[in-house]
Amino acid sequence: METGLTTNLHLLTPEFALTALAFLVFTVDLFLPERSKEWLAGLSVVSLVAVMVVALVMRPAGSVELYGGLIVVDDFGLFFKIFFLGIGVGIIALSWEYARDRLQHRGEFYGLLLFSILGMNLLAMSRELLTAYISLELLSFSLYVMVAYGLREARSNEAGIKYIIIGALSSAIMLYGLSNIYAALGTTYFVGISEELASPAAASPVLWIGVALLVVGLGFKLSAVPFHMWAPDAYEGAPLPVTAYLAIGSKAAAFALTLRLFAEAIIPAVNLWGEWQLVIAVLAAITMLLGNLVALAQRNLKRLMAYSSIGHVGYALAGVAVLGSDFALAAKGVIFYLVVYAVTNLVVFAGITAYYNREGKDDIADLAGLADRQPFTAAAIAIGLFSLAGLPIFAGFTAKFYLFAAVADGGMLWLAGVAIFTSLVSLYYYLQVMRQMYIESPAHDTHNAAAHQAHDEHDDIHQHAVHDEPPAPPMPRPSWLLAGTMGVGLLVVTWLGVYPRPLLGLIEMASKAIVPLG
């Protein structure tokens, strides 16, 4: 493993390119007049796609370590890189219209987005705790700014402050955990940790404190219960595309780190303390339960999606809990779930954004009658929510079935049972959204609504099946970009639900790269 600091440095070309492009976006932003700034979105998309291509072309055979083992270029990293870059493209498509109409300094917005993706990419590749920590901070700092991007909105500022304080706290906890691990084992390399942990002599209070704090720090980043309290406020206050990015990108990145960390550092040390699985399983169970149960009480769409995403984190964590039993199956289940969750959420958020761009409201009740006013948007949101609830023929069903089968097969049938039960709970609140869109009629103004109500009450003994409803107030179509995003997303959601095999093949390659040695 005698790799010098500069050996194979060319393999990092995608990351260098991404850094350069991010700076390019910042620089060009300085010279562009306000009205042409949308070109920066185009520039960012082109750069993301270009980086994707470069990363694919430069795929090395097997795993190659860089910087003496701090970073590894392997299929796992590559898979997540492509995944993250794709998420970036989706988020830009989501934010284009929103940024044009509602955000200032949108050039920098795209620059920050590129930096955060750089952070995620490095996170998926890092094989050492401090490198992972720094990548995570790069991601987090970009997100802190993006969450507070609605400069004039008190909600956004409040969200930004809460997010940065909690984020800093969790970073500090994590860093303290890392230092404890280093104190106990004398190494921060994943491989080194697993080697040290293999000997029973390694067990010490300092080590356990370190590992516990590390898990807590990760829990904050994942917004697993009981470290989730920042999420609903941050989600609600952030600009909508950033909310989507928080729900999709930051979760996926934190899971990429978790998977590699568990596979390469922790699982080989199962003999030291096997019960760690149970700890994760309990975390997963309360995350699913609390996320989904509290979501029942939400009236705001963004908060609903926040709690729903907490619930989904719980499902993925359940997969992490059984990584030690059948690694290949569990890892595949988790990665598959993450991809499906990301695509489905992208569709739902694209739909919500399409609505928000027209009306500027984000309560669930505001969606009333959307099916008549923007049929395609309503259908996209509905299908996305059906998929999140885990109903066929959509990806959510297949992904949940796969993941829960892995969890059950890993010896935790009870955890799969909790997951399945909470899926039922989630169906209820997703149906509430659907009810607004498809069944309720849009409230015109209070007078009309009251008259309509009275008419209902004085109807004959049996009501007519169909009321002669007044025509819905007109609403312009969603922009072509958002409609396209929803359309493509729906195709992918259906395709993954019906024939996930090609994706599973790729995931198999990715998960093979991090298979634990023990």
Partner 1 sequence: MWDNFDQVSLLLLVLVPLAGAVLAMFLPKDRPRDAWQFAIFVAAICFVLSVIVFLRYDYAAGGVQLAREYDWIGHPLNITLDLGLNGIGAPLVLLNGIVLLGAVLISQTITRRSRDFFVLLLALGSGVFGVFIVRDLFFLFFFYELAVLPMYLLIGVWGSSTDFGTFLRTKEYGAMKLMLVLVAGSVLIWIGILALYVASSESGAPTFNIDDLAQLQQAGEFSRTLELWVFPLFAVGFGILAGLWPFHTWSPDGHVAAPTGVSMLHAGVLMKLGAFGIIQVGMILTPTGAEVWMPVLIGLGTVNVIYGAISALSQNDLKYVIGYSSVSHMGYVLMGIATLHPVGLAGAVLQMFSHGIMTALMFAMVGAIYERSHIRDSLILNGLIKRMGVTTFFFAIAGLASLGLPGLSGFIAEFMVFTGAFRTYLPLAVLGVIGAAITAVYILRLLARSFFGEADPQWDHLTDASPVEKGVGAAFVIILIAVGVWPAPLLNVINTGVESALAVF
* Sites of contact with partner 1 (CB under 8 A): 326, 328-329, 332, 371, 375, 382, 386, 391-393, 397, 401-402, 404-405, 408-409, 413, 416-417, 420-421, 423-424, 427-428, 431, 434-435, 438-439, 459-466, 499-501, 504
HSE, side-chain direction, 13 A CA sphere, residue 495: 12
Picking from 50, 163, 51, 23, the residue whose alpha carbon sits closest to that of residue 107 is 23
- d(C-alpha 507, C-alpha 228), whole Å: 28
**Structure token pair of residue 338:** 């993450």
Cβ-based nearer residue to partner 1, 191 or 288: 288
Measured between its terminal Cα atoms, the distance across the chain in Å is: 19
Q: How many CB atoms lie within 10 A of CB 104?
A: 13
**Among residues 152 and 501, whose Cβ is nearest to partner 1?**
501
Closest to partner 1 by CB, 209 vs 504, is: 504
Residue 428 beta carbon to partner 1: minimum distance, rounded to whole angstroms: 6
In the DSSP assignment, the letter for residue 60 is P
Close Cβ partners of 461 (under 8 Å, ≥ 6 residues apart): none
Q: Which is nearer to partner 1, 479 or 511 (CB)?
A: 511
Give least dist CB 475 to partner 1, A.
15
Alpha-carbon distance 47 to 69, whole Å? 28
- Identity of the residue numbered 197: L
Q: Report residue 213 as tokens.
A: 């704090």
Smallest distance, partner 1 to C-beta of residue 445, A = 23
To partner 1, the closest distance from the beta carbon of 434 in angstroms equals 7
CB 310 within 8 A of CB 231: yes
Taking the complex as a whole, the smallest distance from the CB of residue 409 to partner 1 amounts, in Å, to 5
Q: How far is the CB of 40 from partner 1 (least distance, A)?
A: 36
Minimum distance from CB of 168 to partner 1 (Å)?
Answer: 41
Residue closest to 8 by CA, chosen among 53, 85, 74 = 74
Do residues 58 and 101 touch, judged by C-beta distance below 8 A? no
Residue with Cβ nearer partner 1 (228 or 400): 400
CA 180, 124, 159 angle in degrees (round to 5)?
75
Cβ of residue 383: shortest distance to partner 1, in angstroms? 10
What's the sign of the alpha-carbon dihedral 136, 138, 144, 147?
negative
Nearer to partner 1 by C-beta: 298 or 422?
422
Nearer to partner 1 by C-beta: 205 or 474? 474
Q: Is the dihedral of CA 139, 257, 18, 188 positive or negative?
A: positive
Compare residues 147 and 503 and give the one whose CB is closer to partner 1: 503
Written as six digits, the tokens of 157 are: 């500022």
